A and B are shown apart, each in its own frame.
Chain A
Amino acid sequence: MEKTVARIALFAALIAALGLVPQIVLPFAGGVPITAQTLGVMLAGLMLGPWRGAGAVLVFMAVVAMGAPLLAGGRGGLGVFAGPTVGFFVGWPVAAAVIGLVNRAMRHQAPLLGGIAASMLGGIVVLYIFGIIGLAMITQMDLVAATVAVLIFIPGDILKAVIAAFIAREVRRARPDLVD
């Protein structure tokens, strides 16, 4: 039990730490930062597995909701969840779980490719479905418009998905006992 709690909490702290990386701020959409934080979510699923990975993301969000300024850009509090990006937040733990599950399924036949596929399926397909629906609901746009609005972030996230898989492979090679 202690190991589970500790790994979940420390990975949540890692997701927070990755948000401190100097961000590339897109002038479009009001200065939304592109950060390594999504990378952290993907890694949570790859390294901790579906349930602990989702747990880490949930703990991270709970701590942000409580007011800790750990969201990329030093943001925190309940307000960050009330905006148009709320769908993405709801989708984050689901994404981590999907990433973990797909990775487990594919790990033995194709470790690296499986990792990339898992990260893309969870971190992009599933996550963006939640994000787009959330965006459409909040801003009362139609789904097509919402999809167009988020298209610009997808290339960056594809890159992150690939990077996440490579990192996961390196970590697994170095310390197989530590990961899922």
Chain B
Amino acid sequence: MIALASASANRRGARIMRAIPAGLKLAGLALIGAGLLFVENAFALGGVFALCLVLAWAVGAAPLLRALLPPAFMLALAFVAHLVLGDWQVGLVMILRIGALLLLASVVSASTGVSEMLAVMDRVLAPLRWVGVATRPVGVACMLTLRFAPMLGARWQALGEAWRARSPRRAQWRLVTPFVISTLDDADRAADALAARGAFARDD
């Protein structure tokens, strides 16, 4: 996540965005996004796009824009395709709409912490509990993933380095087997840890 941190953190825009409750931001994003899908007017979309750019600038999101380069490039290519095919207006509408969405989504993500998002997800899923669906395991699963991803990432890189130290050949796929096995072993141990702490225990 390109967080709105460090140099741009003290910009008022960033502070304001961070203060808005996550649920509100996400709901706003969903509504605006859905609305954008129905707008076909290039000028209107252009206006929205410009507003989004201003918003992104106001929260100090230069690094954020850098992260959007790959999809931006893809959109540009698609625009060129439309140009070649002779319907550049369609291409323009598309690029403005998706571009605006990308900017908005990125600003929302950059101004909302992961734990805030987790809390929103918990709340959104909560009604499902009335119909008997277990929703708490989802939050626990997300938490576990966040906890173990850095550890597994480091292990994967270490495996690659150990291999490269011993062999000039790039046979990285061969390392995946022990990596998968060690991960599944970790899963069994994590399951024990969950049971030990009383996760998913019954109430009687």
**Which A residues lie at the B interface, using CB under 8 A?**
1-14, 16-18, 20-21, 29-32, 36, 39, 43, 47, 55, 59-60, 62-63, 65-70, 73, 75-85, 138-141, 145, 149, 163, 167, 170-171, 174-175, 178-179
Establish whether residues A171 and B180, one from each chain, have CB atoms under 8 Å apart when the complex forms. Answer: yes
The 6 lowest CB-CB distance pairs between A and B, nearest first, are A30-B73, A77-B109, A83-B71, A9-B144, A139-B78, A66-B117
Establish whether residues B71 and A6, one from each chain, have CB atoms under 8 Å apart when the complex forms. Answer: no
Contacts of B74 in A (CB 8 A): 29-30, 32, 83-85, 139
> Is the interface on chain B under 10, 10 to 19, 20 to 34, or 35 or more residues?
35 or more
Establish whether residues A77 and B2, one from each chain, have CB atoms under 8 Å apart when the complex forms. Answer: yes
| Given A9-B142, A11-B187, A171:B177 Cβ within 8 A | yes
Contacts of B144 in A (CB 8 A): 5-6, 9-10, 13
Looking across the interface, which residue of chain B has its beta carbon closest to that of A148? B81
Contacts of B72 in A (CB 8 A): 30
Establish whether residues A171 and B181, one from each chain, have CB atoms under 8 Å apart when the complex forms. Answer: yes
B126 at the interface (CB under 8 A from A): no
B residues 129-185 near A (Cβ < 8 Å) are 134, 137-138, 140-149, 151-153, 155-157, 160, 172-173, 176-177, 179-181, 183-185
CA distance A63 to B82 in the complex (A): 35
Our pick among B114, B181, B190 for the contact of A9 (Cβ within 8 Å) is: B190
Establish whether residues A78 and B109, one from each chain, have CB atoms under 8 Å apart when the complex forms. Answer: yes
Could you tell me the distance in whole angstroms from the C-beta of A76 to the nearest C-beta in chain B?
A: 5
Our pick among A1, A67, A149, A170 for the contact of B1 (Cβ within 8 Å) is: A67
B residues 60-99 near A (Cβ < 8 Å) are 64, 67-78, 81-82, 85, 90-91, 93-94, 98
CA distance A5 to B187 in the complex (A): 9
Most chain B CB atoms below 10 A, which of A6, A138, A178: A6
Contacts of A43 in B (CB 8 A): 176, 180
B118 at the interface (CB under 8 A from A): yes
B58 at the interface (CB under 8 A from A): no
Establish whether residues A163 and B173, one from each chain, have CB atoms under 8 Å apart when the complex forms. Answer: yes
20 example contacts (A-B, Cβ-Cβ < 8 A) are as follows A3-B191, A5-B199, A6-B190, A12-B145, A13-B145, A14-B179, A17-B179, A29-B73, A59-B142, A63-B114, A76-B109, A78-B105, A79-B109, A83-B74, A140-B78, A140-B82, A141-B78, A145-B85, A149-B81, A167-B176
